[in-house]
Amino acid sequence: MYMTDKKTITIALAGNPNSGKTTIFNNITGSRQKIGNWPGVTVEKKEGLITRFGYDLKIVDLPGTYSLTPFSIEEIVARNFVLEESPDVVIDIIDSSNLERSLYLATQLREIDGKVLFVLNMADVARSHGTKIDAEKLSSLLDVPVVFTVGNKNEGMDDLLKEAIKLAESGPVKKEKRNVKYSKDIENAIVRIEKLIAEKVKDKIKYNPRWTAIKLLEDDKILKERFALIAKNVGPDIIDEVQLLRKNLLNLYDEDPEIVMTDERYGFITGIIKEIQTTSPKLRVDISRNIDLVLTNRFIGFPIFIFFIWAMFQLTFTVGAYPMDLIDKGVSLLSLGFERLLPESIFKDLLVNGIIAGVGSVIVFLPNILILFFCIALFEDTGYMARAAFLMDKIMHLIGLHGKSFIPMLMGFGCNVPAIMAARTLESEKDRILTILITPFMSCSAKLPVYIVLAGTFFAAKAGNVIFSLYLLGIILSIISGRLFRLTLLKGADAPFVMELPPYRMPMLKSLTIHMWDRSKMFLKKMGKVILIGSIVVWFLSSFPRNITYSKDYTLMLNNINESFKEKIVSADENDKYLLNEQKLAAIADIEKKMSLEKTEQSFMGIIGKGLSPAFKPLGIDWRGSVSLLTGVFAKEIVVSTLGVLYSTEISDDKTALANALRSSGMTPLSALSMMVFVLLYLPCLATITTIKKETASFKWTFFSITYSTVVAWMMSFIVYQGGKLLGF
């Protein structure tokens, strides 16, 4: 067996997008990383530390990449890790059903000084297509160990780890490797550059000389810049010689050297495939192709996509209403229990009207969040997410982008933070910035509680359709804004891109559940951090100063009501006593409501709200709505939390209390719709703003995003409210 004393071995998992790399990473480490089924699922490297077979294994899941010539940020991350951090073993996850594409990266990894293990994943898919692969012959041809796995069935994981450990503990890599052999003129150019490297910068560069020579001939921009810095102290001879050799090859082949070398690499790969792969007639009909005849049809594909999105929100609202009702009753009972148990004090006020009212008003929406994330996970894991991007490709071209840009935007339905980070998968800097600027218009899950409260209160049975229309409005405005930016701030030609459509796969319930729960945990963590703190701050601002001057002597008015009804109740018969007592309680409640409103209006929160009120009055939003929108800058869920706190003294113990309080405050369906539109579009939350700054590395673009989104939000809400009034709503 293996050594028992713990030694740490670093293993990097590399491979194409959709090769099953992240699934294998999760199988090995137990890590709860998101498993997707479209290009770019892994943007940053993920690590997991496990102990197996007497070793500590540090497993690094690298971003998916098609080659070691990087175009996107994720590909740069992958190559830099392999080259600069020198892992003990690089495991290349190969899609057995798509050998030609996968072996392109595999042959490049083979050219680097390092230990490489090939993993033929999705072996079951290849077999179902009638394909047999001779792993021993592949190992012999490229002098690389090879193992089979079926990632989604957790098969072959132990074999993979054992082989990786064995490879890590083996001797140095052979210097004479079975690499791609190019035509004579290209090989001569490679040898010439290798010789110059050995003579002039051998001790200054740690990359494999042959690999370096190949990349310089291919005009790899990043390596060229890095190499120029290394070689500058020994004169420009090498770079000049490379340019001369490239020019000679261009004249000889009438093609750029990188194109010729790519063709010859694929020729080498074709030869390998002929040796190792045998294909019999397909054992089954190509199900993915048949499904795509419907789902990506040029006429009905887009309506089907819109239907799926509509169904997702109908499901979120209607099915989520039942568990939401149970949680709401639980929160009401908890609030009532503390109300009766604790004596009157500031602590009781904080707990009941601050923490429980604030956090409780948001946590009731957990079922809706779970359903939304389950649907998004279903789109990703089945392979439909890539089809959605494909369907949106023509529309995205209207704003100078392509379908791949729509993937981060779709991710925005869950959370804008990872959605903006996913823009790293785009090769063009202008495309990345453009996608980042329009992604916040995609309505994230944090805004869903606001929609459910307002749409559920004022639109009842049509709430699902109203919420769907808001999401659709966000998509439309993002496209219009993108077109505007492309014509003005971010001019540029369309970036060419071929969208990969992975085969449809049966989703794994475990994967769907993990994905759904991991995303929802973020929502729950907010309960214990941002929402809790926000609720306490809102309670403080709405409860202080404590000593205020009322416009009327409410104490005297309450005493008069008690005295007035006291005499009537004493002289009344039993039937009338009940009615009189109800009238008394209603009169007292009305006075207390007026007291509460005056108290809140004279609080710090009221002062802030009255200051904001002129800006929001044309939108039909009162001062309490204005304050809620302000607190929503920290996290959009706090909008509901703030409403819960501000209306807490008007809320009774049933689930319709907040809805009744909103109606009695003077809010109308039109003003509620205006507020929902504003929430949809106005400046992102702090976490998203921070991410925009990080991803653009620019205060200018961050400030522009904040300003532009807020201006658009105000204008659209103004149009909705004032236009609705003109139309008689």
- Using CA atoms, how far apart are residues 652 and 656, in angstroms rounded to an integer? 8
Label residue 586 by pLDDT band (50, 70, 90): confident
16 is in an annotated binding site: yes
527 is in an annotated binding site: no
Q: From the centroid of its chain, how far is CA 431?
A: 18
61 is in an annotated binding site: yes
Predicted local confidence at residue 648, as pLDDT: 62
30 is in an annotated binding site: yes
44 is in an annotated binding site: yes
Please say if the pLDDT value at position 595 is more than 50: yes
- Using CA atoms, how far apart are residues 24 and 92, in angstroms rounded to an integer? 11
DSSP 8-state code for residue 155: B
271 is in an annotated binding site: no
123 is in an annotated binding site: yes
**Selection from 625, 600, 598 nearest residue 613 by Cα:** 625
Check if the beta carbon of residue 420 is closer than 8 Å to that of residue 688: yes
21 is in an annotated binding site: yes
In order, the DSSP letters of 441-467 are: GS--GGGHHHHHHHHHHHTGGGHHHHH
Residues 506-554: tens digit of each pLDDT: 887 877 887 788 778 777 877 777 888 888 888 898 888 888 888 888 8
Q: What's the whole-number mean pLDDT along residues 138-143?
A: 90
Two tokens at 115?
A: 């230990």
41 is in an annotated binding site: yes
Residues 499-510: tens digit of each pLDDT: 677 778 888 787
Predicted local confidence at residue 651, as pLDDT: 46
Rg of the chain, C-alpha, whole Å: 32
- Using CA atoms, how far apart are residues 68 and 226, in angstroms rounded to an integer? 15
> What's the whole-model pTM score?
0.74
In order, the DSSP letters of 559-618 are: HHHHHHHHHHHHHS-HHHHHHHHHHHHHHHHHHHHHHHHHHHHTSHHHHHHHHHHHHHGG
In terms of Cβ atoms closer than 10 Å to its own Cβ (0-12, 13-18, 19+), residue 249 is buried
435 is in an annotated binding site: no
More confident: 491 or 682 = 682
496 is in an annotated binding site: no
Predicted local confidence at residue 236, as pLDDT: 60
64 is in an annotated binding site: yes
Secondary element (H or E) of residue 56 = strand 55-61
Most confident of the following: 108-117, 647-656, 718-727: 718-727
328 is in an annotated binding site: no
* 319 three-class SS: coil
Q: Which residue has the tokens 């139309």?
A: 727
62 is in an annotated binding site: yes
119 is in an annotated binding site: no
Residues 220-244: tens digit of each pLDDT: 888 888 777 776 665 567 888 899 9
40 is in an annotated binding site: yes
**Average pLDDT score, the chain:** 85
What are the angstrom distances between the C-alpha of 54 and each of 1, 6, 8, 27, 361? Answer: 9, 6, 10, 19, 50
252 is in an annotated binding site: no
281 is in an annotated binding site: no
Q: What's the whole-number mean pLDDT along residues 67-91?
A: 86
**Selection from 398, 474, 440, 444 nearest residue 716 by Cα:** 474
Predicted local confidence at residue 493, as pLDDT: 64
Check if the beta carbon of residue 682 is closer than 8 Å to that of residue 449: no
**Beta carbons within 8 Å of 596's beta carbon, 6+ residues apart:** 649, 650
644 is in an annotated binding site: no
179 is in an annotated binding site: no
Predicted local confidence at residue 497, as pLDDT: 58
